[in-house]
Amino acid sequence: MGAFKDFAWIELNTDRQRRLFDILMSDYSRSYEEIIDEMMEKEGLAGDKEDHLKYYASVRPALYKMENYNRTRVVEAILTSDIKLHVYNESWEKYEGRGKENLIIHPQMQAKEAVDELDRAKLSLNIMTWHKDGMTERIVHSMLAGAVCISDETKYLKSHFVDGENIVLYAPDDMKKLTDSIKYLLSNDDKRISIARAGYEYAIAHDTWESRAKELINI
pLDDT recorded at residue 164 = 96
What distance in Å separates the CA atoms of residue 136 and residue 129, rounded to the nearest whole number? 10
DSSP letter at 122 equals S
For residue 84, the one-letter residue type is K
DSSP letter at 90 equals G
Largest Cα–Cα distance of the chain, in whole Å? 56
What distance in Å separates the CA atoms of residue 153 and residue 160, rounded to the nearest whole number? 11
pLDDT recorded at residue 205 = 93
Confidence of residue 201 (pLDDT cuts 50, 70, 90): very high
Percent of the chain past pLDDT 70, that is, above it, reads 100
131-141 pLDDT tens trace: 899 899 999 99
Q: Please answer whether residues 92 and 102 qualify as being in contact, where contact means their C-beta atoms are separated by less than 8 angstroms.
A: no
Collapsing DSSP to helix, strand or coil, 119 comes out as: coil
For residue 60, the one-letter residue type is R
What distance in Å separates the CA atoms of residue 100 and residue 63, rounded to the nearest whole number? 25
45-55 pLDDT tens trace: 876 778 888 99
Collapsing DSSP to helix, strand or coil, 163 comes out as: strand
Q: Please answer whether residues 191 and 168 qualify as being in contact, where contact means their C-beta atoms are separated by less than 8 angstroms.
A: no
**Phi, psi angles (nearest 5°) of residue 150:** -110, 125
For residue 132, the one-letter residue type is K
Is pLDDT above 90 for 116? no
Return the higher-pLDDT residue of 8 and 49: 8
**How many residues in the chain?**
219
What distance in Å separates the CA atoms of residue 184 and residue 45, rounded to the nearest whole number? 49
58-78 pLDDT tens trace: 999 999 999 999 999 999 999
Q: Please answer whether residues 137 and 212 qualify as being in contact, where contact means their C-beta atoms are separated by less than 8 angstroms.
A: no
pTM here?
0.89
Return the higher-pLDDT residue of 8 and 198: 198
pLDDT recorded at residue 115 = 84
